[in-house]
Structure 1
Amino acid sequence: MSEPAVPAPEVFRTREANRRRLTPAGQAEIDRLTAAGEASGWLSPLAYNLTISHSHRFVWYRVAKVATRTIRHHCETHGVTLDVDHAMRVRYPLASYADYFTFAFVRDPLDRFVSAWHDKVVDHNYYDFDAGTHERMQRVEEFARWTATHDLSAVPGTDQHLTLQSRMIDLNRVDFVGRLETFDRDFAEVCERIGAPAVPTAPKNQTAPGGRGRQVSAELRELVRTMYRRDYQVFGYPPDAPDQED
Structure 2
Amino acid sequence: MRPEDYRTQPDDRFKLTDEARRAVRAMAQSGDRAGWVSPLRYNLSVSHGHRFVWFRVAKVASRTIRHHFTTHDVTLDVDHAMRVRYPTDLFADYFRFAFVRDPLARFVSAWQDKVVNANYYRFDDADHARMQRIEEFASWVAGQDLAAVPGTDQHLALQSRLIDLNHVDFVGRLETFATDFAEVCERIGAPAGPAEARNQTGSGGASGRQVSDELRGLVATMYRRDYQIFGY
Equivalence for 1:10: 4
Residues 187 and 25 (structure 1 numbering): CA distance in 2 closer, same or farther, change over 3 Å? same
Matching residue within 91, 100, 103 for 1:97: 91
After TM superposition, list the pairs within 5 Å mapping 1:1-246 onto structure 2. 7-37=1-31, 40-209=34-203, 212-214=206-208, 215-237=210-232
Question: Which stretch of structure 1 is more off in the superposition, 40-49 or 93-102?
Answer: 40-49
Letter of the 1:218 partner, please give it.
Answer: D
For residues 222 and 193 of structure 2, the distance between their equivalents in structure 1, rounded to whole angstroms, comes to 35
Q: Secondary structure at the match of 2:14?
A: coil
- Alpha-carbon deviation of 1:222? 0.1
For residues 31 and 56 of structure 2, the distance between their equivalents in structure 1, rounded to whole angstroms, comes to 27
Q: Which contiguous aligned blocks of 4+ residues in structure 1 show a shift greater than 3 angstroms?
A: 37-41
Letter of the 1:226 partner, please give it.
Answer: T
- Alpha-carbon deviation of 1:140? 0.3
TM-score (norm 2): 0.97
Letter of the 1:220 partner, please give it.
Answer: L
For residues 29 and 203 of structure 2, the distance between their equivalents in structure 1, rounded to whole angstroms, comes to 49
Q: Please, what is the CA RMSD of the aligned residues?
A: 1.2
For residues 142 and 32 of structure 2, the distance between their equivalents in structure 1, rounded to whole angstroms, comes to 31
Aligned residues, how many? 231
TM-score (norm 1): 0.91
Letter of the 2:14 partner, please give it.
Answer: R
Structure 1 gap segments, 5+ residues each: 1-6, 238-246
For residues 231 and 114 of structure 1, the distance between their equivalents in structure 2, rounded to whole angstroms, comes to 15
Residues 211 and 194 (structure 1 numbering): CA distance in 2 closer, same or farther, change over 3 Å? closer
Judge conservation of contact 1:101–1:193 (CA < 8 Å) in 2.
Answer: yes
Letter of the 1:216 partner, please give it.
Answer: V
For residues 163 and 130 of structure 2, the distance between their equivalents in structure 1, rounded to whole angstroms, comes to 32
Judge conservation of contact 1:66–1:205 (CA < 8 Å) in 2.
Answer: no
Q: Secondary structure at the match of 1:55?
A: coil
Residues 211 and 183 (structure 1 numbering): CA distance in 2 closer, same or farther, change over 3 Å? closer
